[in-house]
Amino acid sequence: MTPPGSSSDAARVAGLAAALARVGQLERTYMEVCGTHTMAVSRYGLRDLLPPGMRLVSGPGCPVCVTAVGDLDVVVALSRLPGVTIATFGDLVRVPSSRSSLAVERAAGADVRVVYSPVDAVDLAAAEPDRQLVLVGIGFETTAPTVAGALLVARERGLPNFSVLSLHKTMPGALRALLDSGESRIDGFILPGHVSVVTGSDCFRFLASEYGVGGVVAGFTADDVLTALLMLARQERPAIEIGYRRAVTAAGNRVAQDVIARVFEPCDAVWRGLGAIPDSGLRLSAEFRAYAAEERFTVDPGAPEEPAGCRCGEVLRGVIDPPDCPLFGRRCTPEMPVGACMVSSEGSCAAHFRYRALDLSGGGRV
């Protein structure tokens, strides 16, 4: 395989950009719905390689970004309970809730631990049996099997002090909600590679059959993304295709699907920017409800409040680009984030900020 960053890589990217240009001028808007794609697009400057008329916008592909403020308020409230330890992935710690964040609570004395694998949370619970360990399960179909596996390990080890607050979401419902709203023009999707490893591409067939919108599952290199765009541009009729065949199949990973189905069941979920979407969340199934943190603990976080002036929700719907938010790069930066899209390493605001030079005095990009 050619090493990343080689001249052969550059030649492939240039060739794909030229092939896109030869397709002709297309007034089309494509949306990528994976946080890793969002980062790759900005990192490699791929928008600058698109032909006139072709626009690429970011969608709700960052799991931390789409977590509703009300759910974050619950996590913060749980962290304030005596004897409770919160275990979560690092991005969530700095995301502002209505009136606080896990980082603020940790500074005030709350026991908040960052884990790199859900099984690490099981080990924490075993090492500190006098404390209640709450694993905050966050992410899409990609991370749900790992949280389900951790719960199975905790039950096998007989840990009564382990519970899960499932904030997991599933991608198809969000794409359906975006298209149903009609708010943003979307002519095709660059579909998430990591999610599709688990789900397979078949779960997205409804996009073409019901909405007449095509999609291509893409990998994460610059040429992967450009290949997906070229495949979309060349579609004579809407279809769901796989451009990431080294990892994705139509049927997906049956083992991962089975463990999700065993431990979780679909439920309604609230998405930042999209609102309540039926059956787009995952809660613990009846067999595992005893491990559900929302059943084990009672908290009253108060009414949720969105950050004043933050337009993260519109960014997640593809209505505006991050620099169109008046807070972007001024009051909202990675060091002092106001909105979740600026916190996560997969957030579109963070990607734009990191890889685009800004003229903050003039308010424009250079």
Reported as a single tens digit per residue, the pLDDT across 202-232 is 999 999 999 999 999 999 999 999 999 999 9
Please report the pLDDT score of residue 23 as a whole number.
Answer: 86
In this predicted structure, which of 2-6, 67-71, 84-88, 316-320 has the lowest mean pLDDT?
Answer: 2-6
Instruction: Taking residues 51-69, report their average pLDDT.
Output: 94
Query: What is the DSSP-derived secondary structure letter of residue 265?
Result: E
Residue 90: which pLDDT band, with cuts at 50, 70 and 90? confident
Q: Report how far residue 67's alpha carbon sits from residue 137's, in angstroms, rounded to the nearest whole number.
A: 11
Please report the pLDDT score of residue 2 as a whole number.
Answer: 46
Instruction: Taking residues 190-205, report their average pLDDT.
Output: 98
Could you tell me if 92 and 66 are in contact, meaning their C-beta atoms sit under 8 angstroms apart? no
Please report the pLDDT score of residue 358 as a whole number.
Answer: 39
Instruction: Taking residues 319-346, report their average pLDDT.
Output: 93
In sequence order, what E strands does 138-239 have?
A: 162-166, 188-191, 214-217
Query: In this structure, what is the dihedral angle of CA atoms 281, 296, 108, 123, given to the nearest 10 degrees?
Result: -80
Say what percent of the chain tops pLDDT 70: 95
CA distances from 15 to 2, 46, 160, 244 (A): 16, 13, 58, 19
Could you tell me if 65 and 344 are in contact, meaning their C-beta atoms sit under 8 angstroms apart? yes
Please report the pLDDT score of residue 136 as a whole number.
Answer: 98
Q: Report how far residue 239's alpha carbon sits from residue 160's, in angstroms, rounded to the nearest whole number.
A: 48
Q: Report how far residue 7's alpha carbon sits from residue 230's, in angstroms, rounded to the nearest whole number.
A: 21
Contacts of 343 (CB under 8 A, 6+ apart): 64, 65, 91, 94, 95, 96, 334, 337, 350
Query: What is the DSSP-derived secondary structure letter of residue 276?
Result: E
Please report the pLDDT score of residue 283 as a whole number.
Answer: 98
Query: What is the DSSP-derived secondary structure letter of residue 47?
Result: G
Q: Which residue ranges make up each domain of the chain?
A: 24-58+173-242, 64-170+253-296, 312-356
Determine the topology of domain 24-58+173-242 in CATH: Rossmann fold (3.40.50)
The H or E element containing residue 358 is strand 358-359
Residue 364 has pLDDT above 60, yes or no: no
Residue 324 burial by CB count (10 A; 0-12/13-18/19+): exposed, middle or buried?
exposed
Please report the pLDDT score of residue 138 as a whole number.
Answer: 95
Could you tell me if 92 and 64 are in contact, meaning their C-beta atoms sit under 8 angstroms apart? yes
**pLDDT tens readout for residues 271-328:** 999 999 999 999 999 999 999 999 999 999 999 999 999 999 999 999 999 999 999 9
Residue 7: which pLDDT band, with cuts at 50, 70 and 90? very low
Contacts of 311 (CB under 8 A, 6+ apart): 320, 324, 325, 326, 327, 339
Determine the topology of domain 64-170+253-296 in CATH: Rossmann fold (3.40.50)
The packing angle between helices 35-43 and 348-355, to 10°, is 10
Instruction: Taking residues 179-197, report their average pLDDT.
Output: 95
Q: Report how far residue 291's alpha carbon sits from residue 293's, in angstroms, rounded to the nearest whole number.
A: 6
Residue 24 has pLDDT above 90, yes or no: no
Q: Looking only at Cα atoms, what is the longest distance across the chain?
A: 66
Instruction: Taking residues 178-207, report their average pLDDT.
Output: 96
Please report the pLDDT score of residue 344 as a whole number.
Answer: 87
pLDDT greater at residue 90 or residue 241: 241
Instruction: Taking residues 132-159, report their average pLDDT.
Output: 97
Please report the pLDDT score of residue 360 as a whole number.
Answer: 40
Could you tell me if 180 and 205 are in contact, meaning their C-beta atoms sit under 8 angstroms apart? no
Q: Do 64-170+253-296 and 24-58+173-242 fall under one CATH topology?
A: yes
Residue 5 has pLDDT above 90, yes or no: no
The packing angle between helices 7-22 and 222-234, to 10°, is 20
Residue 117 has pLDDT above 90, yes or no: yes
Sheet holding 28-32, edge to edge: 54-58, 28-32, 188-191, 214-217, 240-242
What's the whole-number average pLDDT of the chain?
Answer: 93
In this predicted structure, which of 6-20, 154-168, 223-237 has the lowest mean pLDDT?
Answer: 6-20
Residue 26 has pLDDT above 80, yes or no: no
